[in-house]
Amino acid sequence: MDEVVRCPYCVSGEEFKPMVSHVDGTFICARCGHTTRPKDEKYECRCSRCVELQRITA
């Protein structure tokens, strides 16, 4: 079964929106551009929402 990775920002109905899988292991939200690589613990998304979250929590 394929892994379902969901965007932590975008909601579709009553669930977080599924992200699109790319061959390099990256998942991207088609709505907001948030990205993640579940197998890479050091990966940091540079979407505007993550950048803002990092700014206010630093």
Give the pLDDT confidence of 7-54 residue by residue, as tens digits. 999 999 999 999 999 999 999 999 999 999 999 999 999 999 999 999
Spans of all domains in the chain: 6-57
Nearest to 47 by CA among 32, 30, 27, 26: 32
Cβ(47)–Cβ(32) below 8 Å: yes
Q: Residue 3 has what pLDDT?
A: 76
**Are the C-beta atoms of residues 44 and 30 closer than 8 Å to each other?**
no
- Please state the pTM of the whole predicted model: 0.86
Q: Taking residues 2-6, what's their average pLDDT? A: 85
pLDDT of residue 9: 97
SS3 55: helix
